[in-house]
Structure 1
């Protein structure tokens, strides 16, 4: 059984005084635990909408979206929030760290919603995760004092601190130089392998996409399996 699966999914939005706009059209995608999947596509191809569906932030207009065999649209909103919070980690291109909080405080924040030992031990767990990404010596550093690669490592630690089953990375190396970007992806690949988590990476970079087990192309809302990876803009 796939960890998350989209079956003939469409996403359409209504536009005043115009025809409905179809953003995703008949998308089929299943992602297994431990699998790395990449999606490439031009700006406006529907990548962000696809990511929002995979992260259960949005729902399909038609078709089926299931997480561990359970229909996401059939979940009540509270349950959907709990499933997302406990199982999905997001990594963004712009890091989205809180400027006034230390690296440790940024990574601790997702654990404020945990229960029992993980809540009471949240600072230790966050510190251990930062050490795992090579920042055990930077716990008290503010984002402004960190390099781009270090900030992305904090963002990765924050995304993984709740041990999610599904990691969604939106252009995770877009703000980094090539060498740092490859280093960050190697770190991410290693952690994904160790945790048997699924990783879906949205990227413009063919070198990053090529690291995945399966590669897809999204063009005008249509998702297809790609035999080769080429640069897109």
Structure 2
């Protein structure tokens, strides 16, 4: 059974003039444990909206999302929160670090929801994860004392510290130089492999997208498998949106 499934999912908002604005429509996607999926698209194509739906931060206005076969719309707010905290790790493009808290405190925060030995050892676990992203010497630094690239690495460490089953990364290398970006992606892959987690990466970088087993493009609110974008389709004009469920590249 897939870990997460989207069936005919869409997201429509209402403009200030009461006209509807459709951001996503008819999205079918199946995510298995161990999957590596990348999604590329122009600014405004709905990539962040898709990521928020996958992370249970937003609800679809059409279709359904199922987590291990269960309809997420039936979850209480508390259950959704617990599921996100336990099973989903986020690497946000804007970092979303806690200002005024140190790097160590930021990374250890997700472990406050753990129990037993993990809870009591949370500081040591967080310090080890920061060491792995190359910030072992910046444990006591706050976000304002860190560069953009360092803040990004703190965000990656925070996302991975609980060994989530699904990692959602929004432009995880956007603030990094090429070498550090490769190191961070290798770490994401390593942690995901060790825990058999799925990794979904939103990126503008073709080299980062190419690391995934399955590659998609968001266009006109729909999700297109990149192996369906062929020269003959391109020569005929806009690519027809395909509804997909676990299509391999």
Q: Structure 2 length as normaliser, TM-score?
A: 0.85
Residues 133 and 184, structure 2, Cα contact 8 Å, conserved in 1: no
Q: Deviations over 1:129-169 (max 9, x none)?
A: 22333433432233344444433222111111111111100
Maintained 8 Å contact 1:101/1:142: yes
Residue of structure 1 in register with 2:118 after alignment: 118
Alpha carbons of 1:15 and 1:150: their partners in 2 closer, same or farther (altered >3 Å)?
Answer: closer
Q: Secondary structure at the match of 1:73?
A: helix
Q: Is the 8 A contact 2:156 2:172 kept in 1?
A: no
Q: Contact 1:149 / 1:184 at 8 angstroms: preserved in 2?
A: no
State the secondary structure of the residue aligned to 1:217: strand
SS in 2 for 1:34: coil
Q: Report the more deviating stretch, 172-181 or 191-200.
A: 172-181
- C-alpha distance in structure 1 between counterparts of 2:25 and 2:74, whole Å: 21
1:53, distance to aligned residue in structure 2 (A): 0.3
Aligned length: 229
Aligned residue number for residue 246 of structure 2: none
**In 1, Cα distance between the equivalents of 2:154 and 2:112?**
17
Partner SS, residue 27 of structure 2? strand
Contact conserved, 2:163 with 2:191, CA < 8 A, in 1? no
Q: How far has the Cα of 1:64 moved from its partner?
A: 1.3
Counterpart position of 1:164: 164
Measured after TM superposition, the shift of residue 108 of structure 1 is 0.9
Structure 1 alignment gaps of length 5 or more: none
CA RMSD of aligned residues (A): 1.9
Distance in 1 between residues matched to 2:127 and 2:112, nearest whole Å: 14
- State the alpha-carbon separation in 1 of the partners of residues 112 and 161 from structure 2: 11
Of 80-89 and 132-141, more deviation after overlay is shown by 132-141
Post-superposition, which runs of at least 4 consecutive aligned residues in structure 1 deviate over 6 A? none
For 1:104, the equivalent position in structure 2 comes to 104
State the partner residue of 1:65. Answer: 65
- Taking CA–CA contacts closer than 8 Å with sequence separation of 6 or more, which of the two structures ends up with the larger relative contact order? 1
Residues 194-222 of structure 1, C-alpha deviations (whole Å, 9 max, x = no match): 12111100111111101111000001211
Alignment partner, residue 5 of structure 1: 5
Q: Give the corresponding residue for 2:186.
A: 186
In the TM superposition, what is the alpha-carbon distance from 1:94 to its structure 2 partner? 3.0
Partner of residue 129, structure 2:
129
